[in-house]
Amino acid sequence: MKAKDTLLYLDGVSVSFDGFRAINNLSLVLQSGEMRAIIGPNGAGKTTMMDIITGKTKPDTGDVYFNGTVDLTGHDEAEIAMLGIGRKFQKPTVFESHTVEDNLMLALAGPRSAFSALFHRQSQAEADHILEILYTIRLFEKRHWLAANLSHGQKQWLEIGMLLAQDPKLLLVDEPVAGMTDAETAETAKLLRDIARTRSVIVVEHDMHFVRELDVKVTCLHEGSVLAEGSLDHVSNDQRVIEVYLGR
């Protein structure tokens, strides 16, 4: 397959840390507008894969292309973020000493230079956009709260909201429902499906119930490479997947 016409294209990617092959000849293709769920046991390389896509880790070998032509291995985190790749961490990572509103303000797409930030004045359009996101992530009432005072689930949502504000083409979402209540999990699945209508999303998740709710193509990673790929039913019936991951 060619990198052209794809949103994200990983081919033959390998990376080792101190002799441990975290990613081993991994190939993965994501089409524009697609949502993909990534599953796999601990240590399968899910988070390392995200590190490679977002520029935190450089692969030893292999190609990583975004939008068909942009070689991501030649860019750092900030540049890749500006290209349009947003990332949600496994542990909710928000700016705890800022208000919910300011968290979104900082994430909002726009110039990122220090000088423009020093003299930045919030425009009406920006304020409206923040308001819109506050409604989407259901934190409007808490917009003046310090993020530190939010519940775990609310922090997860705030972080998703920050990704929306960033307006990326591709969202990488690492375990969005970890530590959420069932009600919150269902809401999050709905939220992600809404988001996937306008952009591409990769979700890493352990919660099979949640993956089923997403109802998208699934890739199972194992020991740094793809073990199986297809619909959830196809993947969860794969003998090797059952052996290494699902168990029983």
Partner 1 sequence: MITQWLFTHVDRRGAFAIALLVAIAFFVPVLNLLVPETSALHVPTYLVSLLGKYLTYALLAVALDLVWGFCGILSLGHGAFFALGGYAMGMYLMRQIGPRGVYANPVLPDFMVFLNWKELPWFWYGFDNFWFAALMVVLVPGILAFGFGWLAFRSRVTGVYLSIITQALTYALLLAFFRNDMGFGGNNGLTDFKDILGFNVQAGTTRSALFAATALFLALAVFLASFIIRSKLGKVLVGVRDAESRMRFLGYRVERYKLFVWTISAMLAGIAGALYVPQVGIINPSEFEPANSIEAVIWVAVGGRGTIIGPILGAVLVNFGKTYFTAAFPEIWLFALGALFILVTLFLPKGILGLYGSWQARRATRAALKDDDAQPPLVKQSSRLVPAPEPQAAE
DSSP string covering 120-187, please? ----HHHHHHHHHHHHHTT-GGGTTSBGGGS-HHHHHHHHHHHHHHH--SEEEEE-TTTT--HHHHHH
Contact status: 152 vs partner 1 (CB under 8 A): yes
Closest CB to partner 1 among residues 5, 79: 79
Characterise 33 by phi-psi region: left (phi > 0), alpha (psi -120 to 50), beta (else).
left
Contact status: 169 vs partner 1 (CB under 8 A): no
Contact status: 128 vs partner 1 (CB under 8 A): no
Cβ–Cβ under 8 Å, residues 73 and 58: yes
Closest CB to partner 1 among residues 54, 219: 54
Distances (CA, A) of 127 to 22, 104, 166, 196: 42, 10, 14, 24
Q: How far is the CB of 78 from partner 1 (least distance, A)?
A: 5
How many chain residues bind partner 1 (CB under 8 A)? 61
Tell me which residues in 36-55 interact with partner 1 (CB under 8 A).
41-42, 54
Residues that bind partner 1 (CB under 8 A): 41-42, 54, 56, 76-79, 81-82, 86-87, 89-98, 102, 105-107, 112-114, 117-120, 141-142, 144-146, 149, 151-152, 155, 162, 166, 175, 178-185, 206-210, 245-247
